[in-house]
Amino acid sequence: MGIIAQNKISSLGMLFGAIALMMGIIHFSFGPFSAPPPTLESSVADKTAEIKRGLLAGIKGEKITTVEKKEDMDIDKILDQSGIALAIA
């Protein structure tokens, strides 16, 4: 116990590493926790519909409006990033 008290920073690093390892094992074993990503055919259909709308708007001379989709943070990304942060710390 005396060695752990003397090396507080290294003990803290080992604790962070152990927590990151446990988080990684749990996430790998029981995950993914969020909804599955969209299928390839739905992604292709969405892009095709956007291209069609853009072409029709360009032919008609209308202004093309684009909407940037904000990428949502889900629990899987949060667990990945926090595990990386704990492993580096």
pLDDT digits (tens, 9 = 90+) for 53-63: 989 998 998 88
The sign one gets for the Cα dihedral 24, 25, 28, 31 is negative
The CA distance from 1 to 21, in Å, is 23
Q: Average pLDDT in the 2-30 region?
A: 86
Higher pLDDT, residue 83 or 69 = 83
pLDDT digits (tens, 9 = 90+) for 31-54: 888 888 889 999 999 999 999 998
Q: What is the pLDDT of residue 2?
A: 72
Mean pLDDT of the chain: 86
For the chain, the maximum distance between any two Cα atoms, rounded to a whole number of angstroms, is 79
Every domain of the chain and the residues it spans: 2-88
Q: What is the pLDDT of residue 42?
A: 94
The CA distance from 36 to 26, in Å, is 18
pLDDT confidence tier of residue 1, bands split at 50, 70 and 90 = low
What is the SS3 assignment for 38? coil
